[in-house]
């Protein structure tokens, strides 16, 4: 991996690990200091690696620098020393602080950090924003895009959330068994948003940002691997991610443009990930809880069946009907209309899609452009031109241009 790709990749994976360990060590009241130290660590990499070269073990280099910077903050900043807990002062009386950056402590710290951030004292939208920032390394623009809001709102939410964590003196420990379920829904929503930000990327000029999806999967694997959080919704979400990730290689072409589902080369699908998706979906079937992730994972499973049969699309349509009764969203309703076109025909799907009136959404116009093609090419062109105006990435615009050329 080239240096210009490596540092952003490491920032996505290691920023959250360093921040979680430092927060656990110093306490949640110093969350911003932990973020600052993690940020300074990556700044040091940007300043050093271009001249001295990439170290043999880049992650270990980052951990060492972070540890040294934490020690420097402790020893040099009088304000920090005045605020630190007496227990930590005693432990560090020898002039050094011992920060545990072992794999086990990093894993434990991240799991504990997930649930600390998703504390019930913080509004859910602020929990999600803070988790995306601290645990997933999202920038403010990315958080605003994922939560369909603006940067000013995100900054205010993050500030209030950090203050609330300090006021409540939230500890970074694993919650008691009865508390896990209360916080799990927000945790899963955060990971779901992270995966979607990569899968339907609009914040950068790319149609698929695999590193975001893989980071969401990594954190979900942590939950599935822990006895207290190895629960049906967790396994269902992980199944959903595996099924979607299995089609990554076929989802974009050599020019970085999106390849529509019916044009994908199934030989490029990852059979191992499809198998993992089936495995986690089976694990999710225990108990009597049906979450939206169960239904979406089953829909994703049917999309790994390439055969374009009536049975397949009828199953997908019925699953969308069920999904909309338990977790309605306009985008899910829009996706349902495509399945409807496969079972009831394009005119029926057009009628249902137009009822949604998602006129500010380029996916809405793209779908209507496809549905009208062959029925009323004039209307198809109007919708595709509207979609092109609304599309945020050049890759999306290129896909729409190809559809217009095909009319």
What span, in angstroms and rounded, lies between the C-alpha atoms of 10 and 26? Answer: 23
Instruction: Using a pLDDT cut of 90, give the percent of the chain over it.
Output: 41
CATH number assigned to the domain covering 329-406: 1.25.40
Instruction: Using a pLDDT cut of 70, give the percent of the chain over it.
Output: 91
Nearby residues of 303 by Cβ (< 8 Å), 6 or more positions away: 243, 247, 261, 316
pLDDT in tens, 315-328: 999 999 999 999 99
Give me 16's structure tokens. Answer: 């959250």
What is the pLDDT confidence band of residue 231, given thresholds at 50, 70 and 90? Answer: very high
For range 79-83, the mean pLDDT = 54
Q: Give yes or no for residue 203 having a pLDDT over 60.
A: no
What span, in angstroms and rounded, lies between the C-alpha atoms of 80 and 27? Answer: 12
pLDDT (0 to 100) of residue 332 = 95
Burial group, residue 127, by CB count within 10 angstroms (0-12, 13-18, 19+): buried
Residue 398 CB neighbours (<10 A): 17
- Domain residue ranges of the chain, discontinuous segments joined by +: 329-406
pLDDT in tens, 318-368: 999 999 999 999 999 999 999 999 999 999 999 999 999 999 999 999 999
What span, in angstroms and rounded, lies between the C-alpha atoms of 388 and 209? Answer: 21
pLDDT in tens, 29-50: 788 888 888 889 988 998 889 8
For range 8-31, the mean pLDDT = 82
For the entire predicted model, the pTM comes to 0.79
Q: Give yes or no for residue 94 having a pLDDT over 50.
A: no
Phi/psi of residue 385, each to 5°? Answer: -65, -35
What span, in angstroms and rounded, lies between the C-alpha atoms of 120 and 111? Answer: 16
What is the pLDDT confidence band of residue 293, given thresholds at 50, 70 and 90? Answer: very high
What is the pLDDT confidence band of residue 81, given thresholds at 50, 70 and 90? Answer: low
């Amino acid at each position: 991996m080239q240096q210009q790709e490596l540092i952003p990749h490491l920032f996505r994976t290691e920023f959250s690990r360093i921040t979680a360990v430092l927060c656990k060590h110093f306490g949640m009241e110093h969350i911003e200091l932990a973020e600052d130290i993690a940020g300074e660590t990556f700044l040091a990499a940007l300043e050093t690696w271009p001249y001295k070269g990439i170290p043999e073990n880049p992650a270990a280099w980052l951990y060492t620098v972070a540890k040294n910077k934490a020690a420097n903050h402790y020893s040099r900043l009088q304000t920090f020393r005045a605020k630190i807990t007496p227990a930590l002062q005693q432990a560090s009386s020898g002039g050094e602080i011992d920060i545990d950056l072992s794999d086990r402590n990093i894993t434990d710290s991240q799991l504990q950090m997930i649930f600390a951030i998703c504390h019930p004292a913080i509004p859910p939208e602020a929990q999600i924003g803070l988790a995306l920032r601290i645990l997933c390394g999202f920038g403010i623009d990315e958080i605003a895009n994922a939560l369909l809001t603006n940067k000013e709102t995100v900054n205010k939410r993050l500030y209030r959330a950090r203050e609330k964590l300090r006021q409540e003196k939230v500890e970074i420990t694993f919650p008691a068994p009865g508390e896990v379920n209360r916080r799990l829904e927000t945790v899963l929503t955060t990971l779901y948003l992270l995966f979607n930000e990569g899968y339907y990327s609009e914040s950068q000029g790319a149609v698929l940002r695999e590193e975001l999806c893989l980071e969401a999967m990594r954190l979900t694997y942590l939950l599935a691997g822990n006895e207290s959080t190895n629960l049906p919704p967790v396994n269902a979400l992980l199944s959903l991610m595996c099924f979607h990730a299995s089609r990554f290689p076929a989802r974009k072409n050599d020019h970085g443009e999106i390849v529509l589902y019916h044009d994908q080369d199934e030989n490029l699908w990852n059979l191992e990930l499809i198998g993992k998706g089936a495995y986690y979906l089976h694990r999710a079937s225990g108990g009597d809880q049906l979450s939206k992730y169960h239904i979406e994972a089953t829909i994703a499973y049917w999309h790994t069946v390439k055969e374009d049969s009536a049975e397949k699309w009828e199953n997908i349509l019925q699953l969308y009907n069920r999904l909309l009764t338990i977790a309605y969203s306009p985008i899910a309703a829009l996706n349902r209309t495509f399945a409807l076109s496969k079972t009831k025909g394009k005119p029926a799907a057009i009628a249902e899609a137009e009822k949604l009136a998602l006129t500010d959404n380029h996916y809405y116009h793209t779908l209507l452009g496809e549905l009208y093609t062959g029925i009323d090419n004039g209307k198809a062109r109007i919708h595709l031109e509207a979609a092109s105006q609304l599309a945020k990435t050049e890759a999306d615009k290129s896909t729409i241009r190809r559809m217009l050329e095909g009319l």
